[in-house]
Structure 1
Amino acid sequence: MILLKRTLQFFIICTLLGLITLISLYYYVKPDIPSVQVLKDVQLQTPMQVFTKDGLLINQFGEKRRIPVTIDEIPKPLINAFLATEDNRFYDHVGIDPIGIVRSALVLISTGEKKQGASTITMQLARNFFLTREKAYIRKVKEIFIALHIENLLTKDEILELYLNKIELGNRAFGIGAAAQVYYGKELKDLTLAQMAMIAGLPKAPSALNPIRNPTRAKSRRNVVLGRMLTENYITQTQYNDAIRQPITAYFHGAEIDLYAPYISEMVRAEMVARYGIDKAYNSGYKIFTTVESKVQKAAQTALINNLHNYDMRHGYRGSVKTLWVPETQPVFSKSQMLSELKSVNEFGQLKAAVVIAVNDKTADVLLKSGEQTTLTWDNLKWARKYITRYRQGFAPKAANEILAPGEQIWLRKNTDNSYLLSQIPEASSAIVSLDPQNGRIKAIVGGYSFEQSQYNRAVQAKRQVGSNIKPFIYSAALEKGYTLASILNDAPINQWDKSQGVAWRPKNSPAVYNGPIRIRRALAQSKNVISVRLLRGVGLQRTAEHLLKFGFKNSDINRSESLALGSASITPLELARGMSAFANGGHLIEPYFISEIQDAYGDVLFKTNPTEACDDSDSTLSVLNNDVTMQNFETEKQQEKKCAPRIISKQNAFLIADAMHSGIWGGGSWAHKTGWSGTGWRAQALKRRDLSGKTGTTNDSVDTWFSGFNRNVLTSVWVGFDNPGNSLGRSTYNNNLDSSQISGAESGAKTAQPAWIEFMKVALEDAPEAPIEPPEDLVSIRIDLATGLLSHKNDYTSRFEYFDKGTAPTKYVLSQPTDIFEEDTKTEEELF
């Protein structure tokens, strides 16, 4: 009896001591236990995703790959795999598993080592959210108390859902949704049983058991998981036998990028970081919908790349990347040696690394980095005459051994017929910006040949001399001063002595052809340099500069010298496109923007851009006069009143310049009567659209080349040049190995930049109805004499209808018609640029 009493007392004392110990431990660690209330409003670290306007994924940013899924979206076998491996009594315990704790304690007592943690899924969730993986007793105590709190706060399904979305699974994959994508490129519902078991085996050691790095250990762990599932009757013996026979199929899958557009995605990334900070931007699951259209964006990237390769090819082949062996003097590399060399080569863009194996009369055998072996045909080699300088090329080759030799490492790229073409990395650079001139929405933007090669975004960062693309703005100032498209100026050389420099300034036309008296319409269409200078003088330098500032150009970029008339101002392609939009939209200064909407991780709209629009004059009361414009203009959904862009020039002025630029493409006169003439942008006629206006631009020595063109709905500017502003694009001679459609001669806006514009606009305008810029009210159309700009009674090739702003039309009629006024029209189109 006494023994029983003492035993009872002992147990009571032990129980009290245990309770006191637990209470003491609780209050000891309580200050360090975080509130689990945050789990009710948990924000999983989900990467930021960037989409096109039509919903294609462009890029994603974030340190952690995570694709959140709900418990209903998780296949039952995958849940069972985790339960069987990590916590088979999960739905029975209260957050801690006494049986597991006793088992772990017995292991510790018998071995003296902490081999089993006895952590339930709830305890692992507590550790993953609030603690570290350190094996310490005090951490385990905290883990237990937090787990108990979690169980009181959340349901079992909510706990399991959080756990499966939070857990680290290697290769920067967090959560099972991301793991399925990273390892197998699949959604959860498409995983096989073996693949589910593989993922369920990763939490124990995500790095050591990684199926990509350690496939043997990963397979062994996978089979352990399958064995546990069999033991717990989650799968049948047949399913088990089938699954363990499955090979390891995991390999790294990047983000499911639908359209690779790195320049626009980097613009978005920088903007989001500026707005929210890097941690919130990267990990809050934002979904950003850009303004670019996938089809149009892809066309811009393709046009830019093709155009740079075409420029590069007409200037000659610069030779191989390096020589691996020299025939007849060094041992020939084996296939494995060649592949080993190619393995270290970083490929980018359309370029593929290859080694020349053998050279025949008109062909060459090559081995690609992928292991593919193919033969280059003569049609894919014959372009490669030797590059000498940017101004000189060698003779057209007659045999393949004049171009290549065995042992050379070279670049190739695919043709549309899937054959390989000898290629090289373009030396020149380029940028394309296309936007909707009515509201500033950027339809496509490309900042260079390859983002991997250079992250410098030339579309928004490169300030380059704009050349003759400045002339529409100069002519717009002249129209405000009282000039008309029919005004006659003298197209003759200018020779002005500069006292400060001790030299004469002699601006020249390019080509150096002078027509004498010429109408302003034709002078702009044919890009007459001396006329631009005479107009600047007629308007006044300061007044002209002030007019240019209306178009959004920065004051510091508009130099105050007469060279301004020839395009010495340096501006970015985006700034140029913005300013040029005023001629397409009736005279308004729009604000370019590239983000249309921002959503949170749950799809709720946080921001929606409310752009300024080119409104009718009836909406002028809504105009927002703001000269301090930015590329972004975010508005909440509650602030979506229509905003009108400020008017900077009259709609009559805008139309007249756009119409003169239309002549820059379509020319004028009568070819039947030998009075026809072409504008510098005549190559755009290939698009067979009468709604286009355009302007070429070339700076001194062809350092910078431009083409800008538009209709009412699409405006696109293209720049081509070298990143080093001092380098000329040079000239190329005719290549006898190529057909007559090739470009040759001095590089210029028409030859160097416009081909990319044409290729792009062919896609951008595909299936779109013509959208000409309609003449506004208060314009009159009067027949004038082409030679004098005066009124004409004739209705033949010597006259045409011309537009005038009301009150500016001539009042006198021509008295006689000179007979030699059109003699200058013998200049061929090929000399125009």
Structure 2
Amino acid sequence: MDRKAPASTSTSTSTKGRGRGILPALALFAVTLGIVGLLGATGYVFYLMARLPRVDRLADYKPPIVSQVFSDDGSLVGEFYLERRIVVPVEKMPRKLIQAFVAAEDSSFYQHKGIDYLGIVRAAFKNLLSMRKKEGASTITQQVTKSMLLTPEKKFSRKIKEAILAKRMEEKLSKDEILYLYLNQIYLGGGAYGVQVAAETYFGKNVDQLNLAEMAMLAGLPKAPNAYSPIKHLDKARERQAYVLDRMVKEGYITTAEADHAKNTPIEIRSMKKVNNEQSAYFLEHLRIQLEEKYGEDQLYKGGLKIYTTMNADMQRAAYESLRNGLKAVDKRQGFRGPTKYLGESEVDGFCAKVEDGIDSATLKTGESYQGVVVGFVPEKGEAIVRVGDRKGVLTRKNMAWAGRVGMINSYGKPEKGNKNLALGSVIEVSVVSPEVNKEGAQFALDQTPEVQAALVSLDPRTGAVKAMVGGYDFRKSQFNRAIQAKRNAGSAFKPIIYAAALDKGLTPATIIEDSEVEYPDGAGGTWKPKNYDNTFRGPVTMREALTYSINIVSVKIMEQIGAQYAADYAKKLGFTSQIPANLALALGAASVSPFELTEAYSVFANKGQLIPQYFVTKVTDNDGTVLQENQPPAAIPAVSPETSYVITNLMQSVVASGTGSRAIIGRPVAGKTGTTNEGKDAWFVGYIPQLVTGVWVGYDQERSLGAGGSGGQAAAPIWAEFMRKATAGMPVMDFEAPDNVTFVLINPRTGKLAKEGTPGAVMECFVKGSEPTGYDGDGGGAAARPPAAEKEE
């Protein structure tokens, strides 16, 4: 009888057979997958390798280099750059500086071939133990590839590219060539790229002048340039410096004694001396626009151009300081506007931390202004305790006297609307009278950023060279260059141009004009009655008196006599490009012109009638020294006769000596003219000596009255005088030279006729020969011609 095997036995045997078949299949699949993965990875690596940038191009390393701007004496006054970098060869770098970077950043640099495998394992182990990224393993070579050949993206593919390129770089370049790239390319904080600029930024030295302590401090920066900045965090920078020195000892580069000496060496933080870019900002911005148009962005910001300008560094600094001082004086006459805002007690620390981030010096700078917070009072002394960043100081009653009686509220919270008292948490501006010591004890003065603006232009009339230009109070807040871009009514500052035109029409300084009420049709069916500044009438006056005291009615009558179109055409000969209206109001400065235009026009009078177009750049060279542009002083254009120029100059000397421009007296011969427009919206003073002509405008961007003390003589002339005193220090005192065809005769200013010796009130007057009066009082002889009116301005 046949027996069948139990079903269970048959099933068990079948399962075992299938099991033995699956394992080889899985193994085969895994091997296949591994081979495919390896081939894929290999293919991906080859794919990346085929698309990597060429390493050999680094042999011709040309990084973005600073373009430098120089003043007329060759001193550095500004820079244009994307990355502030000055390239120096390795041979000029101290060997210990190189060793400091190697010890701190890549101690096996001279042993590995681009990748430090042992360092990778060591870093991975430390990171694993700490459960966070505590240490990196990039070599100096890898850092160069990352910064120069790759994008900063954080991807695995970039790490592969970095490793491949590092290996290739080590095959193509020597170790010194790699260090040359690294030490010139690396960012070291404070806007400094490369060791040369870092040495200038932090220590005011060239790289080959650094001592060991300074070298080690620079070598500590790559890990975290801002955190270890010796300017902002000297204590942390010292800690990092000590680490670098210890690493140098361990690597055998220095002895323990050398390290200890460096650790104890005092660190003096100071920048390489150069003109503050802020002082020259408007001048530099005008240059930047011109140069970028001519040479393109790449060459200007990356090409290392050397730009030699007409600017005089000392004059530019004087212009900046004088304009700011003058605007503060004008603004303070309008009164204290109160704190800019009020903080709650919990907001003070955060606000002060932001202020501290913006302070780029170890101690507060004397004379500089900062935002401070009132954090306390000393009631018995009437003093406020003010915090600026993490520093504190005292604001005394004396140092805020200009603001009048300011109360003090010893609590946090905003006072009632319109209350200008100081409360705890008040944010105010303070200037530094004396800096703090160890972040305590500064002496502050209450300050206030002016709302009013100004412009100053100074030219050499003999060459056309622009020596200084400031276009506003603060370039960081407003890049609008009021010196060139603003078009404002010139007011009485335009009168010398009208009077010069009148001289060429036959009028003389002794011409008598009646200062009396007059009216003209206004073209709209009504009448226009010009008024004098003081609303009084003087009767018969000479043309000299009319200009000296800026009598408006006389100026209008002169314009009526010579013709408005003639006066407008005459003005254009002096270089104006703005539209000049041909109407009687032009006599009172109705033309809207820029400070630059008006100053250039006055330069014609200062230069004996010759117009020389103004220029800013003398020479431009590329980084190799090839001259790209060289400018000579432009050719002079005859605009006005030397005789007319001298006579109008002589008239304007009276404006300064005894008229509206008396605040422009600087102890040497000066000719100039004030200007104040209707409702006191614009204040001007333009004046000159034989070697220099300077124009100043003061006003609000959104036109409104300058208020009390806002006339040309009170607001603009003091700025002009402060600048000129500083600018002309050391210049020889020169008088204006009279042409041979000018003569001086004694006249009676009440009649305009010749006067005899001893005649009461007689004065010497200048004339172009042949235009002087021929008769004496009472003899019926000829007197000077007789035209129309002006206005006393201040």
TM class by smaller structure: 0.7 to 0.9
Q: 1:803: how far off?
A: 2.5
Instruction: Say if 2:282 and 2:469, in contact at 8 Å, map to a contact too.
Output: yes
* Residue among 596, 599, 606 paired with 1:577: 599
Give, in whole Å, the separation in 2 of the partners of 1:362 and 1:461: 48
Partner of 1:683: 663
Deviation of 1:581 after TM superposition, in Å, equals: 0.5
Q: Radius of gyration: which is bigger? A: 2
TM-score by length of 1: 0.74
Amino acid at match of 1:372: K
How far residue 585 of structure 1 moved from its aligned partner, in angstroms, is: 0.4
Structure 2 residue aligned with 1:729: 706
Aligned twin of 2:715:
752
Q: Hey, what's the Cα distance between the residues in 1 that align with 2:758 and 2:464?
A: 42
Q: Does 1:652 align with 2:630?
A: no
Structure 2: gaps spanning 5 or more residues: 1-41, 129-133, 360-366, 407-418, 436-441, 782-790
**Do 1:384 and 1:403's aligned partners in 2 also have CA atoms closer than 8 Å?**
no
> Could you list the per-position Cα deviations for residues 659-711 of structure 1 after superposition, in whole angstroms to 9, with x for gaps in the alignment?
11111122xxxxxxxxxxx32212334x232x111111011111111111111
* 1:802 equivalent in alignment to 2:779: no
Q: Give the partner amino acid of 1:717.
A: G
**Following the alignment from structure 1 to structure 2, what is the Cα–Cα distance between the partners of residues 416 and 166?**
39
Q: 1:424 aligns with which of 413, 429, 448?
A: 448
- Compute the displacement of 1:648 (Å): 0.9
CA 1:464 to 1:416, structure 2 compared with 1: closer, same or farther past 3 Å? farther
Q: Which amino acid aligns with 2:563?
A: G
Which residue in 2 is equivalent to 1:455? 479
Partners of 1:715 and 1:496 in 2: CA distance:
36
Q: 2:678 aligns with which of 681, 694, 700?
A: 700
Aligned equivalents of 1:479, 1:454: Cα separation in 2: 42
**Alpha carbons of structure 1 residues 225 and 572: separation in structure 2 relative to 1, 3 Å:** same
1:633 aligned residue: none
Distance, in Å, in 1 between the alignment partners of 2:136 and 2:335 is 68
Distance between the aligned counterparts of 2:297 and 2:420, measured in 1? 50
Question: Cα 1:515–1:270, aligned 2, differ >3 Å: closer, same or farther?
Answer: same
- The whole-number CA distance in structure 2 between the counterparts of 1:104 and 1:767 is 64
- Equivalence for 1:662: 653
Match of residue 394, structure 2, among 371, 374, 380 = 374
- For residues 276 and 107 of structure 1, what CA distance do their matches in structure 2 show? 51
Shift of 1:63: 2.7
Question: Residues 106 and 351 (structure 1 numbering): CA distance in 2 closer, same or farther, change over 3 Å?
Answer: closer
> Which whole-Å CA distance do the structure 2 matches of 1:304 and 1:456 have between them?
16
Is this contact kept in 2: 1:427–1:722, CA < 8 A? Answer: yes
* Correspondence for 1:621: none
Bigger Cα displacement from structure 2, 586-595 vs 701-710: 586-595
Matches within 5 A, 1:789-828: 789-815=752-778
Percent same amino acid at aligned positions?
36
C-alpha distance in structure 2 between counterparts of 1:456 and 1:440, whole Å: 23
Match of 1:503 in 2: 526
Q: Which amino acid aligns with 1:684?
A: A
Instruction: Please give the alpha-carbon distance, in whole angstroms, between the structure 1 residues aligned to 2:223 and 2:399.
Output: 58
Selected match of 2:556 from 533, 538, 542 = 533
For 1:381, the aligned partner's letter is: A
Q: Alpha carbons of 1:749 and 1:232: their partners in 2 closer, same or farther (altered >3 Å)?
A: closer
Match status 1:564 vs 2:586: yes
- Whether the aligned pair in 1 keeps the contact of 2:399 and 2:444 (CA below 8 Å) is no
Alignment match of 1:307 (pick from 298, 323, 326): 326
Please name the residue that 1:3 is paired with: none
Q: Secondary structure at the match of 1:422?
A: strand
d(CA) in 1 for partners of 2:65 and 2:640? 47
- The AA in structure 2 aligned to 1:706 is W
SS in 2 for 1:717: strand
> Matched residue of 2:687: which SS?
strand
Q: Is the 8 A contact 2:307 2:620 kept in 1?
A: yes
Mapped contact 1:211–1:250 kept (Cα < 8 A):
no
After superposition, residues 222-621 of structure 1 pair within 5 angstroms as: 226=245, 229-239=248-258, 257-259=274-276, 260-261=278-279, 262-324=281-343, 333=345, 338=348, 340-344=350-354, 350-355=369-374, 357-358=376-377, 360=379, 363-370=382-389, 371-378=391-398, 380-381=400-401, 383-384=403-404, 404-407=421-424, 408-414=426-432, 420-498=444-522, 500-556=523-579, 558-601=580-623, 606-612=628-634
For 1:749-788, what aligned pairs fall within 5 Å after superposition? 749-788=712-751
Amino acid at match of 1:704: D
Partner Cα separation in structure 1 for residue 205 and residue 698 of structure 2: 41
Structure-2-length-normalised TM-score? 0.77
Measured after TM superposition, the shift of residue 91 of structure 1 is 7.3
Cα displacement (A) at 1:375: 4.5
- When residues 38 and 479 of structure 1 are mapped into structure 2, their CA distance, relative to the original with a 3 A threshold, is farther
1:713: how far off? 0.6
Contact 1:363 1:378 in 2 (8 A): no
Q: Is the 8 A contact 2:567 2:582 kept in 1?
A: no
> Is the Cα–Cα contact under 8 Å of residues 676 and 793 in structure 2 kept in the other structure?
no
Distance in 2 between residues matched to 1:217 and 1:766, nearest whole Å? 45
Cα deviation, residue 412, structure 1: 2.8
The one-letter amino acid paired with 1:74 is M
Q: CA offsets, 1:60-85, max 9 Å, x none?
A: 33232323223233111122234556
- State the AA in 2 paired with 1:358: F
Q: 1:201 to 1:770 in 2, by over 3 A?
A: closer
Give the superposed CA RMSD.
4.4
> What do the CA deviations read for 1:282-315 (whole angstroms, capped 9, x no partner)?
2222343433333322222222222222222223
